[in-house]
Structure 1
């Protein structure tokens, strides 16, 4: 199937409904509206993050109906990913999107090796290690394999029409979180299949612009140098193709996830952590 790369420019100002907040030197919080969803602390050695999941998360995307998945699949393989990327963009009203340029893509190099070099972190409390497999953190517990919706999605997985799971790259965690598709993820795992994945990433527009300028300057200089010599037509074609690929990649350069200041700072983080993991709260900003 043809990969999807949907660039989205958001102009609305303000904090999004689903967001990262930070306090002190190493304290993080993922919040949905007023509810804390994930409480996390970066380890002093900077090799990972301790996290606690509150299980209060609710997907901002309306439930996907089986007939909708079937209609998208009936549209053919050529634009299957693109159709789903546009669907999530139109339905993601209360997600993490804020002012800036975003990429919704099925090209996720970290998670696309043949060995499934990624790990689903299913526990309500755990450790995201920054060495080894890439972590994928569901924002709520995965439903059991016999849950009604999971059973329905298992049939879709077997039929090859399971809709993608929507991830969000959170650079402060150095990992992905599941924005939508927890039951679809559970279904794919139950069927021992790699789930289809779309990743939502903030694009670094400043770095993108600088990279594009540098690429254009380098291309023009190389082209002018090569045109001074006969018999370089084939080489110029290759140069142009490489330039196009590099420019494509530069326009999608990954940016750092924005974190808003946590109202109340470290004391507020400590109070929230104390409700769910008192020992974690005792390590705040040590």
Structure 2
């Protein structure tokens, strides 16, 4: 039975935006962070409401390894939250590595290093396809219903006294 969705469902933890660089982080329908982009477009002024609850569980020992990696000068494994990869975007990012691999294989002359070259090209292709699939998609902000006036009212109600500098 087909399901019809009239509009996208707003996620429980989302960023909303209004004109003039105003941002609002909402969790469970409650504002948790207000921000206003700096006039220079480098950084933001922000105020927290104190109501944020992390959606991630407490750190465990599968996370001490990350700290150990930093101590050892290695790159730690990190959790990256982003939008799911769009199949069309993955296909587009995969096209060039696939074409390059096919051209390399077609131009490969038989010889004592053929096996090593095929193996190296296969590893490069696998790495490129993995990167194409795992590339983070742009996370977009939802438009804040009511725009700037709604942002101003909510900021005054949830973080009284906070007044970020106005942008020119």
Q: For this structure pair, what is the TM-score category when the shorter chain's length is used for normalisation?
A: 0.7 to 0.9
In structure 2, what is the Cα distance between the partners aligned to 1:216 and 1:14?
Answer: 36
State the 4+ residue runs in structure 1 displaced beyond 3 angstroms: 112-116
Unaligned runs of 5+ in 2: 1-7
Give the SS at the match of 1:274: helix
Residue 278 of structure 1: aligned partner: 162
Give the TM-score, by structure 1 length: 0.46
Give the TM-score taking structure 2 as reference length: 0.74
Answer yes or no: is the 8 Å Cα contact 2:25–2:31 preserved in 1.
Answer: yes
SS of the residue aligned with 1:28?
strand
Alignment of 1:186-205 (within 5 A): 197-205=78-86
Partner of 1:256, secondary structure, is: coil
Q: Secondary structure of the residue that 1:273 maps to in structure 2? A: helix
Distance verdict in 2 for CA 1:35–1:243, change over 3 Å: same
Please identify the structure whose Cα radius of gyration is greater: 2
Distance 2:52 2:9 in 1: 21
Q: Equivalent residue for 2:110?
A: 230
SS in structure 1 of the partner of residue 39 of structure 2: coil
**DSSP 3-state at the match of 1:271:** helix
Equivalent residue of 1:278, what SS? coil
Q: Is the 8 A contact 2:47 2:162 kept in 1?
A: no
Which has the larger share of strand?
A: 1
Offset of residue 210 of structure 1: 0.7
Residue ranges of structure 1 left out of the alignment (5+ in a row): 1-12, 74-79, 82-105, 117-193
Number of matched pairs: 151
Q: Is the 8 A contact 1:22 1:28 kept in 2?
A: yes
C-alpha root-mean-square deviation of aligned residues, in Å? Answer: 3.2
Displacement, 1:198?
Answer: 2.7
Within 2, Cα distance between the matches of 1:249 and 1:240? 14
Does the 8 A contact of 1:207 with 1:253 survive in 2?
Answer: no
